Amino acid sequence: MPIMAAHERSDARGAARLLASMALDCIGNPAIAGDQEVALNNVYRLLESYRTNAFFGLESPREQPTHDAAEKLTLMPPMERHVKEVRDALEQARAAAFAGKSKDQAVALIEKVLRAVAYPNLKDRPKPSAQDRKKATLFFKKLVEQLQLG
């Protein structure tokens, strides 16, 4: 169990910012990427959730308030995790780095760069161009900027 979850402070913005920072570091310095395979795989999972899950970051409708005090205690809404802000930050970073490209195109390019960084010895995959790496770097820089807490 992550420390954040143990203390009920699981804020998706902080987790996404940490992952984006790690991806940015690995793209800038591929020598460290081998030690960060788990983090890069988690970046991949975040991007796939953003790309494929139509409900990613949508808030659930608020339930009608109850009048029973016991129900209020047991049915308290969970702590806000700020997933909507993560989705908004991903959208803004995508717009900045991939103007005119679809979400699928942008995520596919970013994932291509991450694969090349995480697994540099794969021979069957084409290496991303310098332009692709530059766009992925811009995406993660904008994402980190958008996810500033405080």
* Residue 5 binned pLDDT confidence (cut-offs 50, 70, 90): very low
Q: Is the pLDDT of residue 110 over 80?
A: yes
Confirm whether 62 is domain-assigned: no
For 24, the domain range is 3-57+80-146
> How large is the average pLDDT for residues 102-117?
94
Both tokens of 111, joined, read 């994932």
Confirm whether 71 is domain-assigned: no
Q: Is the pLDDT of residue 19 over 50?
A: yes
Confirm whether 35 is domain-assigned: yes
- Cα separations (Å) of 130 from 30, 90, 135? 14, 22, 9
Confirm whether 45 is domain-assigned: yes
Instruction: Give the total number of structural domains in the chain.
Output: 1
Q: Given this model, what pLDDT does residue 126 score?
A: 80
Residues in the chain: 150
**What percentage of the chain exceeds 70 in pLDDT?**
76
Confirm whether 139 is domain-assigned: yes
